[in-house]
A and B are shown apart, each in its own frame.
Chain A
Amino acid sequence: MICQQCGKRPATVHLTKIVNGQKSERHLCESCANELGELQFVPGAFSFPNILGSFFSADAPPGSPPVQTLRCPTCGLTYHQFTQVSRFGCPQCYKAFVPVLDPVLRRIHGSSTHTGKVPRRGGGRLRLRRELEHLKEQLQEKVRLEQFEEAARLRDQIRDLEQRLSG
């Protein structure tokens, strides 16, 4: 296919635009596409950080400090900067922005609390606590199904774990 603009070079850039439901296609060579600015997305016009940024519009719970002035003491990122780039600066930002974090996370994920994996080494007691919760759920299930031998085995495991946690 030949470039629709210069009619000379082969078209290597294939654009499909859908504007208000009107679809149009253009086939251009790289240099014409560059010249026409088809490859440049206007900064600020439509970008992922901007869409995400609108998620973070400040509505902190009443009584909390004004959110725009929040600043991470470790890396120096301000909450305002965070809403611009939609990225945290360092792990400690999660603590620094705590007054606004819950609504932000809930809007993205529908939840603000992790229920998945715990680090094997770094997880320490948390890992044991999660395992304990898991065993207790299993125990209830076995009792419900009247599988008492299995249940007894689980109960022993739970006792063992509880001793390790309190010891």
Chain B
Amino acid sequence: MSLDDFVHRTASYWMRGDGPEDEIVISTRVRLARNMADLPFPMLATDRQMEELLHRVNDAIQHPTMKDLGRFEMVPMRQVSELDRQVLMEKHLISPDLVDNPRRSAVILRDDETVSIMVGEEDHLRIQCLFPGLQLKPAWDLASRVDDALEATLDWAYDEKRGYLTACPTNAGTGMRSSVMMHLPALVLTDQIRRVLGAISQVGLAVRGIYGEGTEAVGNLFQVSNQITLGQSEEEIIHNLYGVTRQLIEHERRARQLLMDQNQAELEDRIGRSYGVLRYARRLDSKETMQRLSDVRLGIDLGIITGVSKGILKELMVLTRPALLQMYEGRELSPEERDVRRAALVRERLAA
């Protein structure tokens, strides 16, 4: 299989597509937790009850209300190899929990992988919509429509006062976690990130690095999400997150301008070096790959590097993950082999 085919076949819509503000916002995710009214949550459910859950959900996706929303397929996790489960996780379609505990769970995917529904995670269902760029409203709208379509035949655990009932009280109410993944290299380079992120946690939102912890985020990628799910409507939650995201975009833009005004030569040198490494290196570990890709993406955004697609960061940050690399190679790779193959894949992608 050619690399082009592989990329085309494996890339979800959020990885391929363009979206608003995608210079800084990589992707948007909205996740809804839903549970059956008459079954214990997965932690206490018996195997038979979990079978029952999978049956009901499989029936629900055959209903016309679901067919109107696209082509959905349910895959029991125990039929998926461990490598393929890891691939699904690297594409952000399932959680680590489903990779480690496949026995009683399933995933439902829409063919473009914009919608993924985890069955039998901490809650009975986790409906998740992933969009490229900053698209909170479209992601919420779609998630809510999938919720309605499933609710046409399934009875949700819902209480007038507490809202949607979830296994963990931190999700009760809307059951919604909305998040944006942002690329904030200039805020990191200008050492403002700590201050900015500290301010965010004051307003009921959480920030974490995507690969790595806290302010040590590898590849300068940060995920901002709502923490509060009770007492605010879905629209209010999204509105707040949108407002904060817009502010972060503005801060990042200003920091980029500042770097260009005051440290242009140094910045161009750094970006050029990273570009050189990615184009010619023969061994790359994933941490270095992410850091260099972040520099190159910044270079593209600032017009320092031309002729390279801006989608390169998003695409390669996923494709160079261990499981996807091994899927591309069609065999298991040792960590040393992975570094060699990763460098080869990056070289080929940048030369294209």
Contact = CB atoms under 8 A, between A and B. Distances in A.
Interface in A116-137: 116-123, 126
A104 interface: yes
Given A86-B168, A90-B44, A112 B156 contact: no
Contacts of A16: 212-213, 216
Contacts of B156: 119, 122
Interface string A74-118: 110100000001111111001000000100110011111111111
A105 B231 CA distance: 10
Interface in A32-54: 52
B335 interface: yes
Contacts of A115: 231-233
A86 B37 CA distance: 20
A114 B43 contact: no
A10 interface: yes
A116 B160 contact: no
A140 interface: no
Contact of B159 (A10, A94, A108, A117): A94
Interface stretch (B108-116, B170-178, B185-193): B170-178
A119 B166 CA distance: 15
Contacts of B204: 110
A166 B152 CA distance: 25
B155 A111 contact: no
Interface secondary structure of B, over-half rule? loop
Contact of A126 (B43, B160, B166): B160
Given A1-B285, A87-B168, A109-B173, A10 B230 contact: no
A112 B234 CA distance: 15
Contacts of B41: 87-91
Interface string B195-233: 000000000100000001100100000000000111111
B151 A122 contact: yes
Given A1-B285, A9-B335, A86-B169, A116 B44 contact: no
Contacts of A29: 335
B158 A88 contact: no
Q: Which of A1, A14, A109 has the most CB of B within 10 A?
A: A109
B161 A113 contact: yes
Interface secondary structure of A, over-half rule? loop
Contacts of A94: 159, 162, 165, 172
A114 B230 contact: yes
A12 interface: yes
Given A1-B285, A86-B169, A114-B173, A119 B158 contact: yes
Contact of B228 (A101, A109, A118): A109
B157 interface: yes
A2 to B, nearest CB: 10
Contact of B40 (A1, A90, A112): A90
A122 B44 contact: no
A111 B230 contact: yes
B248 to A, nearest CB: 23
B43 A87 contact: yes
Contact of B230 (A77, A88, A112, A118): A112
A16 B212 CA distance: 9
Contacts of B147: 117
Contacts of A101: 162
B151 A120 contact: yes
A120 B156 CA distance: 11
B345 interface: no
Given A86-B168, A89-B44, A116-B174, A122 B230 contact: no
17 contacts: A9-B335, A10-B336, A16-B213, A85-B43, A86-B168, A88-B168, A90-B44, A91-B157, A91-B165, A108-B170, A108-B230, A112-B162, A114-B230, A116-B232, A117-B164, A119-B151, A121-B151
Interface of A: 1, 9-10, 12, 14, 16, 29-30, 52, 74-75, 77, 85-91, 94, 101, 104-105, 108-123, 126
Given A77-B44, A87-B167, A115-B232, 17 more contacts: A16-B213, A88-B169, A89-B40, A89-B43, A90-B39, A90-B41, A94-B159, A101-B162, A108-B228, A109-B231, A111-B230, A112-B161, A114-B172, A114-B173, A116-B232, A117-B164, A120-B148
Closest 7 CB pairs of A and B: A111-B231, A114-B163, A91-B157, A109-B230, A90-B40, A116-B233, A89-B44
